[in-house]
A and B are shown apart, each in its own frame.
Chain A
């Protein structure tokens, strides 16, 4: 297979195992490209990409921008903070205005769930979801699986624990879909208040004790505590969270085996993981960042391949 089964990357829910394999295979080639003395290929010279960020982002935005530049696409950036959205413009109007400038592909982050699905039905451009509210963040899940595959050889059969605020996390949901597709065993771990009811229906287990969770797993994907998405307090204090669910060196050493530590960033050092864990050799946090560029290059390249060339 050399083509994606979908026209947009809206979420991992919409893609299949073959798509993931194709993205990983393509990312392997791009990972080699970004380690060359000249880290750029001319494939997307005639493609224009708009990065629409209706929500703050540092690393995802940088990573997408770099991926697009490495593919030689022309890019325009848009952040809601400095735009007409503040003046009351609707999402479709904003997007159509940008499309009138002949944009082929839109990378969008939006605080509302389903914003990318909505946009894909109303505008004539390829859409890549860079995070929609608490719903999905497909490229993050892809780069997480890709990093596991790189570190452990494969994802199939591996035991992955996702620790933290599962309720508000789009990274968790996309990861659960992606890991299930690839045949990994998944459990989630966190305070009861931020573990969604019926999460088992997604095919994952639940573990409330961090030590037991870590003893079980091969990989721990530790999420950030997202205070900004919480309208109320879901746990009494950050200090208590750190004590009950924080991962520190002592806890890791007590396991009797070496597990892989991942984090999608930005890290709250001393809350979900301590500094010595984040910087330990079993942590692949910086590999995730590097792989993010290769994965995003692959996704954009494969979607751009489907764009009909103007005659």
Chain B
């Protein structure tokens, strides 16, 4: 818009992200040991990259292979269908294992209003009844919640105002691991 200046601030650089991801991987191991009864679900679209990164850390650094990873798209379960200016575009859901009686860990990059996670909680029921569901996020935007949803594992908690956006860039997709706070 005319007269406003977009500002972009680095919240986490690639080294900090590296340390945080290793810590999150360790916390997952603490609770799920060898992941025999646990499945990881990356929430589409932005949670998938984080989930894939965690899986590769578990494999490379801690020798835990065969961690089951699925992708869940929540588009058809959102509560803002026909309420947005722009139509929603769906992404691919890929879960090729059963989640019945499994521990599920949802993985997403930024936790904001909690509405995506609410949708994911409904969506995952279509695949069975898990024994429990946990939530792992890289960035937890405190004070922005619309629903009573809190993460079990968090990378970094931040206080940002509603007008600000938090975006996570990944090396694989965007060239560099960085978390930005953008004000526009």
The chain A residues found within 8 Å of chain B, CB to CB, are 2-3, 26, 28-29, 32-33, 36-44, 46, 301, 304-305, 307-309
Contacts and interface: CB of A to CB of B under 8 A. Distances in A.
B92 A29 contact: yes
Contacts of A44: 81
A2 B82 contact: no
A245 to B, nearest CB: 42
The list of the 7 closest CB pairs from A to B, nearest first, reads A41-B76, A38-B126, A29-B90, A2-B89, A2-B87, A43-B76, A309-B82
A43 B92 contact: no
A309 B92 contact: no
A67 to B, nearest CB: 13
Nearest to B93: A32
Contacts of A43: 76-77, 81
Given A42-B77, A304-B82, 13 more contacts: A2-B86, A29-B75, A29-B90, A29-B92, A36-B127, A37-B126, A41-B77, A41-B126, A43-B77, A46-B82, A305-B81, A308-B82, A309-B83
Interface of B: 73, 75-77, 81-83, 86-93, 122, 125-128
A33 B76 contact: yes
B76 A37 contact: no
A122 B87 CA distance: 27
B13 to A, nearest CB: 34
Nearest to A22: B89
A40 B92 CA distance: 16
A32 B92 contact: yes
Nearest to B73: A29
Contacts of B92: 28-29, 32
Nearest to A301: B76
Contacts of B125: 38
A307 B81 CA distance: 10
B87 A305 contact: yes
Nearest to B126: A38
A46 B86 CA distance: 19
A27 B90 CA distance: 10
Nearest to A308: B82
Contact of A36 (B87, B89, B126): B126
A38 B128 CA distance: 8
A2 B128 contact: no
Contacts of B81: 43-44, 305
A41 B73 CA distance: 12
A300 to B, nearest CB: 12
B92 to A, nearest CB: 7
Contact of B82 (A26, A29, A305): A305
Contacts of B89: 2
Nearest to A43: B76
Contacts of B82: 46, 304-305, 307-309
Given A29-B92, A36-B126, A37-B126, A42 B83 contact: no
Q: B86, B88, B89 — which one has the most chain A CB atoms within 10 A of its CB? A: B89
Contacts of A41: 76-77, 126
A21 to B, nearest CB: 13
Contacts of A301: 76
Nearest to B74: A41
Contacts of B83: 309
Contact of A37 (B73, B75, B128): B128
Q: B73, B75, B82 — which one has the most chain A CB atoms within 10 A of its CB? A: B82
A36 B125 CA distance: 10
Contacts of A309: 82-83
A46 B88 CA distance: 17
Nearest to B122: A42
B48 to A, nearest CB: 15
A36 B83 CA distance: 27
A305 B128 CA distance: 28
A103 to B, nearest CB: 16
Contacts of B90: 26, 29
A29 B93 contact: yes
B21 to A, nearest CB: 29
